[in-house]
Amino acid sequence: MPLRSPGVKWVASKIDVIGFEHTAPDPAVDQARDGLVSGNSVYNITSRGNPAYGDEQSSDGIYVDGGTRILIEQNVVHDVDFGIELASEHQNRATSYITTRNNLIYHCHTAGISIGGYAPERGRTEHSTVVNNTLYENDTAVTGSGEFQMQWNMADDVFANNIVYAGPHCLIVRNRSQGEKNRSTTTIDHNIYYCVSGPQASKWALASATVTGFDKYLESTGNDLHSSFSDPHFVNPSTNDFHLEPDSPAINAGTNAGLTVHFESQPER
């Protein structure tokens, strides 16, 4: 088990925004809140080989575990296990009101971005927005988590305006928990997806079955009605240059989410 000391949780993560650890005398504010995680370069992190984890690859570059009202933007995360994870390890407790935008996440061993509790009996992710991020060839360890992973216990989350370029296995989305008729509890739209093997080879792992083909995914889920499967035309990903070429279909292709970031003032404690 991870070691613990008062006020600190030692986990296999580089940046950890945490809550519900009984470190605040007032339970109502026992969570990190109203924070900013910006401008960081996070890389070369894994839990594999750690005696507490064995061969499990479950570290995070940036991890929100029970935080609220956090802005995560303009970070570069690569060669870690999970790129960015928004979750809660405590049952009936939520990571909430997180905005994750304008981050570059590539070559992670498992999912580029993951939301939701990692097991049904864990906590939840709610009112969180993942927009305008670039995900490139993650899940390099072929764990089945894909580029964007949705786990359990999610509500009112959004995944939009993202560029998702999958690796050779072309597993784009992994959704472990879905509502009626394969419909996700997360709003997913206005994204650009791509893998070299093409739209018909793309894989979308849903709770009931894995769907192959972008068109079949759209038909099965009703998600991404304004999204496309197109090469985003990065300048040179082999040298980690993910700027867009002038003819990129990603330019001016998203939607204006009207996103404002509101940090509520808190009394001194």
The pLDDT assigned to 207 comes to: 84
**CA-wise closest residue to 15 among 37, 44, 33, 32:** 37
pLDDT of 84 higher than 50: yes
Q: Kindly report which listed range (11-15, 154-158, 210-214, 216-220) carries the lowest average pLDDT score.
A: 11-15
Residue entry with tokens 């690859």: 57
pLDDT of 257 = 63
Over residues 12-26, the mean pLDDT reads 85
Tens of pLDDT, residue by residue over 169-226, are 999 999 987 654 455 679 999 999 999 999 999 999 998 889 999 999 999 999 999 9
E strands, 120-179, in order = 124-126, 129-131, 134-136, 148-150, 154-155, 157-160, 163-165, 171-175
* Residue 10, pLDDT above cutoff 80: no
Least Cα distance to 172 among 254, 111, 125 occurs for 111
* Per-residue pLDDT at 258: 62
Q: List Cβ neighbours of 194 (8 Å cut-off, separation of 6 or more).
A: 163, 164, 165, 166, 229, 230, 231, 232
**Contact (CB, 8 A) for 106 and 242:** yes
Name the band, by pLDDT with cuts 50, 70 and 90, for residue 143.
very high
Report the C-alpha gap between 38 and 72 in whole angstroms: 6
**Is residue 43 scored above 80 in pLDDT?**
yes
Question: 132: part of which helix (H) or strand (E)?
Answer: none
pLDDT at 259 over 70: no
What average pLDDT does the chain have? 87
The SS3 of residue 238 is: helix
pLDDT in tens, 94-107: 899 999 999 999 99
Beta bridge partners of 187: 158
d(CA 261, CA 21): 26
When pLDDT is cut at 50, 70 and 90, the band that residue 121 belongs to is confident
Q: For residue 177, what pLDDT is reported?
A: 77
> Is the separation of the CB atoms in 132 and 168 below 8 Å?
no
The Cα 219–Cα 181 span in angstroms is 11
Residue 263 pLDDT greater than 80, yes or no:
no
Query: What is the share, in percent, of the chain residues with pLDDT greater than 70?
Result: 87
Averaged over 114-123, what is the pLDDT? 89
CB burial of 141-162 (b: ≥16 within 10 Å; e: otherwise) equals eebebbbbbbbbbbeebbbbbb
Specify whether the CB–CB gap between 86 and 148 falls below 8 A: no
CB-based burial label for 140 (10 Å; 0-12, 13-18, 19+): middle
Mean pLDDT, rounded, for 138-142: 96
Distance CA 222, CA 125 (A): 22
pLDDT at 28 over 70: yes
The yes-or-no verdict on residue 262 having pLDDT over 50 is no
